[in-house]
Structure 1
Amino acid sequence: MSESVERVAVQVDRLCWSGILLGLAFTMTNVQQFAAAGSQPWSPAWCAAWLLDPMVSLVLLAILRAEQVTAQHGVRMGGWVRAAKWFTLAATYVMNTWSAFMAGSAALVVLHSVPPLVVFVAAEAVTELRDKLVVPVDGPAPEPVAPTPRTSFAEYLAVAQAARTRGVKVTPAWVREVTGCSRGLSSRLAAALAEQEVRP
């Protein structure tokens, strides 16, 4: 069972990271067009524009990976880490959708918004998914509960005999009180005690 959960955790982790990387690869071309701003192909400005998105994406990936590892060890990241993550995510979204908003095209806004938003959601989900799936695997195995030994009729009878004093009226209710046995067994124990009392 634990191997199955671990296998699923690895698959989920790989699929989420694949989606994040594909989303960032898609945004890279949009950011390059945004940064190039009509520069001639292969000009210094056009080539330098390709560096903008990887610069932001590498920082984002480093933060996401660090969050994933620290979450597994129960370490909470500071405010600067979350600020850096959300700043890089917001920067990626703005650079991807700026031209679409300026063009006033709803279709382009949707097209260029989906990949960054998927990256946003996956970035938050991947750490928690991995953490929740690994907990049942890495958690301590429950200790086996030893079966409670059953008390025999003779043991109950010995307890009742030890508790019996002169003048005590032996009834099933009294037997249950001193031995803690069941209602059905108390009648048999009371009968056995009564038989001992009348036996010469």
Structure 2
Amino acid sequence: MKRDDKQARQPRQVRRLSKRLDVARQLHDLEQDAALDIVDIERLRVSVTRSLWIFLAVGSVFTTTGVQDFLAGHLTPADPVWWGCWGVEPCLVGVLITVLRWEAAMIAREIEIGSKAVDWLKRFLLTCTLVMNVVPALWPREGGISAGMLAAHIMVPVLVFFLAEVMPIVQARCTQARRAVTLTKPQTSEPASPAPAPAVEPPASSVEAPAVVVPPPPAVPVEPSPTPVMPPTVATLPPVAPVETPAPAPAVELDGLGIPVAMQAQIRQLVADSPDPVTAADIQRATRLPLTIAARVVDRLTPVGANGYAH
């Protein structure tokens, strides 16, 4: 027995290659799934949004220093107003981002804003940030005007504004792309209502039905003719063929394959409703099972579909 087992056992390279082929087939089946596009879109949205948030935070820190310098003036840290000036720019940026997030949600649902108040609010917030950053650079309290600081105080507020406006658009477009992906739902057949039993006619009796003799028409005196007179026609009723009731479909054994009970019932219903032999592709389309397991299920169904009864 041990020698037979060693001879029947496959070589290591064959077993290793078989495992690799199984993994490749499973990966191929997963790559064909449309839900993978949703995963890729969501990963892209998270990555892009995270990067934009980082750059927006860095730009907001720079504009916050300009706004604090404009509002604080010659105050010192001993004055509470000096500390309160640090919260003005985060408040303006927070209001701007909140409005743009709401606008992005409406764009994703294809709802037109159609309100000038929203546009005026965004422009007002940008103007406030821009003015409070440019004025200290144009009229510095100490020293002369620095062209680099002036350009930075103009460029960074505008960049922060456009970053805050691009972020909701990115989220809205990713949401639209995710909703545009259509997933193939498994074909679930509803339980068929019990059909009424066919009316079975009584089988024909072994005794033939009596012949019905059609009486001839009344005789009319005519001249003798050389043609012979036809005998009266006799009509017989055709025998009624007995109606055979279809044999019940055999049960499909799916135990031992690791398939849930609900999915087994779905496969049995698919086999019962399909007029043609069920293939592995049909089972995979209806239950989303791997192709290898679907092929094993078809092997279980082959004896049933071949001759109409289980071996």
How high is the TM-score relative to the length of structure 2?
A: 0.42
Equivalent in the alignment of 1:87: 124
1:25/1:76 CA distance change after superposition, 3 Å: farther
Contact 1:97–1:109 (8 Å) recurs in 2: yes
- Unmatched 5+ stretches in structure 1: 144-200
Equivalent in the alignment of 1:173: none
Equivalent in the alignment of 1:19: 55
Equivalent in the alignment of 1:166: none
Whose helix proportion is higher, 1 or 2? 1
Once the two structures are superposed, what CA deviation does each residue of 1:151-182 show, in whole Å capped at 9, x if it has no partner? xxxxxxxxxxxxxxxxxxxxxxxxxxxxxxxx
Deviation at 1:132, TM superposition (A): 2.4
Contact 1:35–1:52 (8 Å) recurs in 2: no
Contact 2:130–2:154 (8 Å) recurs in 1: yes
List aligned pairs for 1:36-185, cutoff 5 A. 36-77=72-113, 78-103=115-140, 104-141=145-182
Residue identity opposite 1:137 in structure 2: R
Deviation at 1:142, TM superposition (A): 8.6
Pick the structure with greater CA Rg: 2
Give runs of ≥4 in structure 1 deviating > 4 Å.
Answer: none
For these two proteins, the number of residue pairs brought into alignment is: 143
Equivalent in the alignment of 1:171: none
For residue 3 of structure 1, the aligned residue among 23, 30, 39 is 39
Residue identity opposite 1:124 in structure 2: E
* Counterpart Cα distance in 2 of 1:134 and 1:13: 13
Contact 2:96–2:164 (8 Å) recurs in 1: no
Residue identity opposite 2:147 in structure 1: A
* Counterpart Cα distance in 2 of 1:55 and 1:8: 29
Match of 1:141, SS state, is coil
Deviation at 1:140, TM superposition (A): 4.8
Deviation at 1:87, TM superposition (A): 0.9
Deviation at 1:72, TM superposition (A): 1.6
* Counterpart Cα distance in 1 of 2:165 and 2:87: 25
* Counterpart Cα distance in 2 of 1:119 and 1:88: 11
1:51/1:125 CA distance change after superposition, 3 Å: closer
* Counterpart Cα distance in 2 of 1:67 and 1:21: 20
Match of 2:77, SS state, is coil
1:54/1:123 CA distance change after superposition, 3 Å: closer
More RCO (CA 8 Å, sep 6+):
1
Match of 1:107, SS state, is helix
Q: CA RMSD in A?
A: 2.1
Contact 1:12–1:130 (8 Å) recurs in 2: no
Identity of matched residues, %: 29
Residue identity opposite 2:129 in structure 1: T
Match of 1:39, SS state, is coil
* Counterpart Cα distance in 2 of 1:117 and 1:128: 17
Once the two structures are superposed, what CA deviation does each residue of 1:125-170 show, in whole Å capped at 9, x if it has no partner? 2222222233222115298xxxxxxxxxxxxxxxxxxxxxxxxxxx
How high is the TM-score relative to the length of structure 1?
A: 0.63
